[in-house]
Structure 1
Amino acid sequence: MEKELQQEEVATYKSEEATAEAAEASEQTEPEQVSEQPESEQISEQMEENSELTAAKKRIAELEEKLQELENRYLRLHADFDNFRRRTRLDFEAAEKYRAQSLVTDILPALDNFERALKVKAEDDKTKSILQGMEMVYRSLMDALKKEGVEVIEAVGKPFDPHLHQAVMQVEDSSYEPNTVVEEFQKGYKLKDRVIRPSMVKVSQ
């Protein structure tokens, strides 16, 4: 009887031990089955992160391109402004430098008349007195123009320069070198470095 009880206890112990082992084995295998789900989630998250990273890189490239375009536009505007400022300064300097040009141009015919009148020979004291007064006015005008930078262009005996002289006649004259101004019909004038009116001259061939 005791043997049978012992055998039953051993059988029960073995059965319980087998059940415990089975339970332990089940606990060990379940995590492996459950671990398949987190791995797929990790792949999905990684793909999502890659997609976000690609979108971010694309956005950065677009912003960099827009920034480059804005920088180029800024440089062009800056260059245009510099050119405008330089042209404005040059125009202002030219206007200041040649501010008397219009007045000088208007006065030149009067100077021509003075010069023609002063070539008249005085036959009496009254005429001499008038000519002296005209000469004083003429000199005053020339002094005032000289202060503004007006100069008479030298002509007779000088090599012909198409920028300074206007040839209206050509003659053969052995006393002058070829292409030399031999006579001046009308004086030419410069305002500083700008020709207001070229000299009207006769040139040797």
Structure 2
Amino acid sequence: MNENEEIKDLEPLSESMLDADSESVDDFIRQLEEKEKDLHITLETTVIEIEEGFDDGNPSVFFVEPQPAGAEPVTVKPASPEPTAAVQVREEPDETDEADDEIAELEERIGDLEDFNSALKENVRRLEAERAELLENSLRRNKDFEAYKARNERDRSDHLRNQTVSLVEKFLPVLDNLERALDSANQLSDEQGPEFGHFFEGIQMVNEQFNAALSELGVEPIPATGNEFDPHLHEAVATVETEEFANNFVCEEMLRGFRFGDRIMRHAMVKVAVNSNHPEDDGRPEPENDSP
């Protein structure tokens, strides 16, 4: 067999390697031809077996020393390939793996949502606590404000009452003198002429207007003559034995008393009747006896 026939036998091997790397196979064939020329390799002397997994990128491992005739065939095994970068083989994803990935992703999202929900609940609790505190503070301030308004109104009313009482007390002596003048003029009205009568009527009108003005301010006279003696309203200056009035009743008013609402501005100075026909004690304190 000549060299051309040996090359033809190797051509199928070379063509199978073209799909992997054409350039490496061409180089390998050229080197193989040169070796055959140097070693005179024939089919009777050498049998070459190429194992599966042969690396055609490293053809040097394929060359062996010539063997004598009748020797056992030499099997050329590829040398351990040099470490190369790992080639990632894309495999078809498994449906189970996809389901597991989806489950893991859903579980992760559920965990995130639970954390978010917990944070929202914590914020809600914090806001509810702040709302309760604000409501409590608002109610307390509202109560304080209402109490302040009531106290302010009470103080204003008390101040107005005090001012009214202070003003009226200054006019009471003037009113007392006016009434004394009327009492004296009443005794002289018959002795004087009609001109004095007109003057007396004018003084009476002034007295009535004065009392009406006091009434509009809330100042009222304290009833005295004919009423039972009341130490809270009356001040007894004398006792008079008489059968005209019942025992312990006011028989004469010496000085008119006045009150402003429930406040006594001035007690009425009175004389209290002592009736011997009714000696029984009604439980009230006896007035002072200033009679001679």
Q: Same fold (TM over 0.5)?
A: yes
- The yes-or-no answer on 1:160 pairing with 2:224 is no
Q: Which has the larger radius of gyration?
A: 2
Query: Deviation digits for residues 44-89 of structure 1, max 9, x if unmatched?
Result: 3322321221221121122123223333433444454455556666
Q: CA 1:198–1:27 in 2, change beyond 3 Å: closer, same or farther? A: same
Q: Say which structure is richer in helix.
A: 1
Tell me the secondary structure at the aligned position of residue 166 of structure 1.
strand
1:4-153 aligned at under 5 Å gives the runs 30-33=94-97, 35-82=99-146, 84-85=148-149, 100-116=164-180, 136-137=202-203, 139-149=205-215, 150-153=219-222
Tell me the secondary structure at the aligned position of residue 227 of structure 2.
coil
Q: CA 1:140–1:99 in 2, change beyond 3 Å: closer, same or farther? A: farther
- Mapped contact 2:182–2:203 kept (Cα < 8 A): no
CA distance in structure 2 between the aligned counterparts of 1:80 and 1:188, rounded to whole angstroms: 41
- Mapped contact 2:178–2:207 kept (Cα < 8 A): no
Tell me the secondary structure at the aligned position of residue 157 of structure 1.
coil
Q: CA 1:199–1:55 in 2, change beyond 3 Å: closer, same or farther? A: same
Corresponding residue for 2:246?
177
Corresponding residue for 1:21?
none
Q: CA 1:66–1:173 in 2, change beyond 3 Å: closer, same or farther? A: farther
Tell me the secondary structure at the aligned position of residue 67 of structure 1.
helix
Shift of 1:161: 3.5
Tell me the secondary structure at the aligned position of residue 161 of structure 1.
coil
Report the TM-score when normalising by structure 1: 0.57
CA distance in structure 2 between the aligned counterparts of 1:147 and 1:99, rounded to whole angstroms: 16
Q: Partner amino acid for 2:222?
A: I
The size of the alignment, in residue pairs, is 175
Q: CA 1:100–1:145 in 2, change beyond 3 Å: closer, same or farther? A: farther
Q: Which runs of 5+ in 2 are unaligned?
A: 1-90, 274-285, 287-292
**Backbone CA RMSD of aligned residues:** 4.4
CA distance in structure 2 between the aligned counterparts of 1:172 and 1:31, rounded to whole angstroms: 128
Query: Deviation digits for residues 71-108 of structure 1, max 9, x if unmatched?
Result: 34334444544555566667767877897543321011
Corresponding residue for 1:18?
none
- Mapped contact 1:176–1:182 kept (Cα < 8 A): yes
- Mapped contact 1:153–1:190 kept (Cα < 8 A): yes
- The yes-or-no answer on 1:188 pairing with 2:257 is yes
Q: CA 1:56–1:156 in 2, change beyond 3 Å: closer, same or farther? A: same
Q: CA 1:115–1:141 in 2, change beyond 3 Å: closer, same or farther? A: closer
CA distance in structure 2 between the aligned counterparts of 1:102 and 1:57, rounded to whole angstroms: 66
> Structure with the greater relative contact order (CA < 8 A, sep ≥ 6): 1 or 2?
1
